[in-house]
Chain A
Amino acid sequence: MNGDGFKERFKDREHLLRLAGLFGVGVLLFMLVQALLIPKGFGVYGHFRAGALDDNRLRAASFAGHETCEVCHSDVVDARKGGKHAGIRCEACHGPLASHAEADDPAAKKPARPEAPLCLVCHAANVAKPEGFPQVEPKSHGEGGSCFTCHRAHQPGAAPEAKP
């Protein structure tokens, strides 16, 4: 019974449909642009691209880590045992050696032996260093000779003729 009233009310529905169509196209366009612009994996863990975690992760290291060194050089671990340098990790003095550790023939990629001046990097006197840390005046201590005349790097306190 309302059929005529309904038809009467929506007799100009053409422009409503057109508007709805336009709105639909707008929504689709928005979704398309959004899909194109938002990088893959964005929002998985938060407001960032999840793949960035792996980008930061998947890189080679330069420092092998002392655990790696100790696999082969257990003799040095024994030599340092109980000494003042026992807690220092290998690469602190010997430098980054992942290339040596990962080489097919590590012996062919032997690192250079650290020279005596390296000792002064830590042990040269400086008032800003903590009290109690062993420090020397490079000019007056040891009469200008090499540190290794009196000290052994892996057991600094144990050399027979060690002087303060």
Chain B
Amino acid sequence: MSADRRQFLIQSGKFIFLTGAASIAFEHLLAGEPEKAPNYKLTDHWWAMTIDIEKCIGCGNCVRACKEENGVPKEPFLFRTWVERYHVPRGDIEHPEVDSPNGGYDGFKEKYRPGDGSKNFFVPKLCNQCAHSPCVQVCPVGATFESPDGVVLVDSKYCLGCRYCVQACPYGCRYIHPETGTVDKCNLCYHRITKGLTTACCESCPTGARQLADLKDPNDPVHEFLRTHKVQVLKPQMATGSKVYYSGLDGSVR
């Protein structure tokens, strides 16, 4: 009898005094399963990436590895990560020539002459895992979100395919997957990094230009990297809280 009354009070209390969302959180607490993954603590990580432009050789290994690992369609213009080649004519930082044939998937054919006074370099791009992401803010159904460990993820079961986020991303990092009709983007190989592996792009980068970083891990070499390198994020004026830190980034990079 008293147990019934207790149950009744818990149930009615949940429904009357808590909002829908909070009552679900309460259910989880009662069930004692705030996190399903026992050996991975969401609160212990804050994922980021560092990219050293002076090390990138434009081999395209990251692009190929990413497509392989994440089932990204092989057709052009659909990428989770891609590489751009910048050609900055002598002294003209405002008008760089940028190309990315097939996202760098097939590498880069030599196109420019050495010694013409121009500046040439590669810029790998991927989702910037913004802490204050514009794509998350526009999603009408909560199908894209910043995870508690700092990765912008997509809930493909609830994505409507409305494309708001594709337009909102200032870095052009999202695309609609032709098979599912839902949005897809770099999730920093969430299935790998939560198991202690690095991302597929970092695993296959021959020069170590890309490095996965856990900003909450005091032993991560990223802290030394950020201390010894001058780093910048893409489009800092947009205040997206980007967590992909570029070292050696030129002012011409968009």
Contacts and interface: CB of A to CB of B under 8 A. Distances in A.
Contacts of A95: 68
A35 to B, nearest CB: 7
B218 to A, nearest CB: 21
B225 interface: no
Q: Determine chain A's interface SS by DSSP, over half rule.
A: loop
A49 B36 contact: no
A48 B143 CA distance: 6
Interface of A: 31, 34-35, 38-50, 52-63, 65-66, 87-89, 91-93, 95-96, 121-122, 124-130, 133
A117 to B, nearest CB: 11
Interface stretch (B150-158, B167-175, B230-238, B239-247): B150-158
Contacts of A52: 143, 145, 153-155, 157-158
Interface of B: 15, 20-22, 24-25, 28, 34, 36-37, 40, 42, 54-61, 65, 68-69, 85-87, 107-108, 110, 112-114, 118, 120-122, 142-148, 153-158, 187, 189-192, 194-195, 197-198, 200, 203-208
Contact of B20 (A35, A45, A89): A35
B100 to A, nearest CB: 12
Closest 10 CB pairs of A and B: A43-B21, A52-B155, A48-B145, A128-B120, A59-B191, A56-B190, A127-B114, A47-B142, A92-B204, A34-B20
Contact of B22 (A43, A57, A58, A88): A43
A65 B198 contact: yes
B20 A126 contact: no
A68 to B, nearest CB: 9
A91 B69 CA distance: 12
Q: Interface centre among B42, B110, B121, by most A CB within 10 Å?
A: B110
A39 B21 CA distance: 9
Contact of A44 (B25, B37, B121, B187): B25
Contact of B24 (A42, A56, A121, A133): A42
A46 B59 CA distance: 39
Nearest to B56: A130
A128 B158 contact: no
B155 A128 contact: no
A108 B227 CA distance: 47
A124 B110 contact: yes
A89 B146 CA distance: 30
A95 B206 CA distance: 12
Contacts of A60: 191
Contacts of B58: 126, 128-129
25 contacts: A38-B20, A44-B25, A48-B142, A48-B144, A49-B157, A52-B145, A53-B42, A53-B147, A54-B37, A55-B156, A56-B154, A56-B190, A63-B192, A65-B197, A65-B198, A88-B206, A89-B203, A92-B205, A92-B206, A121-B107, A125-B110, A126-B58, A129-B57, A130-B55, A130-B121
Contact of B108 (A31, A65, A128): A128
Given A43-B22, A127-B120, A62 B200 contact: yes
Contact of A46 (B20, B40, B61, B148): B148
B113 A44 contact: no
A126 B110 contact: yes
Nearest to A122: B59
A47 B207 CA distance: 39
Contacts of B148: 45-46
